[in-house]
Amino acid sequence: MAARKSVFVHSPQLEKYKYPSQCPFNVSRAGKVRKVINSMGLLDGDFRREVAPEAASRAVLEKFHTKEYLDALQDAAQGDFDVELLYMGIGTSDCPVFEDMYDYSVMACGATLTGAKLILSGQAELAFNPSGGLHHAGPKKASGFCYMNDVAIGCLTLAQAGKRILYFDVDVHHGDGVQNAFYDRNDVMTISFHQNGRTIFPGTGFEDEIGTGRGKGFSVNVPLPMGTDDKAYMEAFKAIVLPLAKAYKPDCFVFELGADGLAGDPLARLQLTNNTYADIIYKLLEFNIPILMTGGGGYNIENTVRAWSLAWSVLCGADAEDKHANAGLGGVMLESTDWPGGLRDRQLPINDSQHKTVTRQIKTTTDYIKKNVFPIHGI
């Protein structure tokens, strides 16, 4: 596959911010990814580079968020808290008030916007912001560790430039904030693969949520049963995402790569390895259109860092099977002795009985989508 202009969007400024220690969301992941891929020599060369993000402007943020909400968020970060903010999701257990919450969110949004602008200008074809993927935030509400919705704003920015966007979200939690933003639109198709909302936050993302008005058929959800493995996941991906992408013919992918679907994540119950994420990226690259990739969830820090490092190595054209990925980097680079086999996870054994149960449940979902969504796109 020919090399393409790839940009890793990050700066030391993003590493200065912190969520409260009791919060599972850890912003150190992006800096740790940067350390790994830099050690592998994957931040420079003819087609790879690192770009520092610009903070998102207030005008751009207000394309999605209300002025009143942004004011309240900024005031709360500065210590001016009112109990009424709870109605905006500010000060809850999953969106606590802390000093850095406004500034970090502005920079994380800015990093995704920087990637979008580089793609629009032709300076990049592939961009990765590991600090992004804050997909739960609404126009006037914080939710699920997310205060500003960088991916919704990124999709809006690309769509307003006349691009057809396919937003694909593999975070284990449903991408509700992005779905809601485009539920009645057809210039942004949203596809979310996530653990079934009956068993996990935010309790949404069922297969019958397919959009409304001109957006009917442009919102697609694949709720997955607990225990979903790599094989079952990829079968669903090939059955749903690839046909829809071919029919929709997007100009750009926005790919939210939450890594909390990995086996061992403390907040979820899927059984994936990072090999699945790599396989998905290879498939997306075959469309030969720009990809704006972000981070997202991922609460086993070491597993998330390895997954995102592998994802970048695939995205930027470094063969994930080459010597870089198999030189013991898992143990040496990640300062862990859990798995010395490189960036790729070990293959997990599949329980035949569980796999059959999972596959049967997923087939019910994919059959529903094929019946109710595919005909809208001529499939």
Amino acid letter, residue 121: S
Partners of 49 in the β-ladder: 7
Contact (Cβ atoms closer than 8 angstroms) between residue 270 and residue 224: yes
Q: Is 199 helix (H, G, I), strand (E, B) or coil?
A: coil
Q: Are strands 252-256 and 165-169 parallel, antiparallel or unpaired?
A: parallel
Beta carbons of 146 and 177 less than 8 angstroms apart: yes
Tell me the backbone φ, ψ of residue 294, rounded to 5 degrees. Answer: -130, 170
Of the chain, the end-to-end C-alpha distance in Å amounts to: 28
Specify the 3-state DSSP secondary structure of 375: helix
CA count, 13 A, side-chain hemisphere, 339: 17
> Hunting for tokens 């509400």 — which residue is that?
141
CB neighbours of residue 367 within 10 Å: 12
Pairing of strands 126-129, 188-195: unpaired
> How far is residue 250's CA from residue 233's CA, in Å, rounded to a whole number?
22
- Rounded Cα–Cα distance for residues 129 and 312 (Å): 10
C-alpha angle 62/257/199, rounded to 5°?
A: 95
Smallest Cα–Cα separation from 344: which of 366, 368, 321?
Answer: 321
> Active-site residue 136, yes or no?
yes
One-letter amino acid for residue 126 of the chain: L
Q: 93: Cβ–Cβ under 8 A, 6 or more apart, which residues?
A: none
Distance between CA 1 and CA 250 in Å, rounded?
Answer: 20
Given the residues 10, 65, 135, 136, the one annotated as active site = 136
CA 189 vs. chain centroid, Å, equals 15
Six token digits for residue 320: 């994930």
Catalytic residues: 136
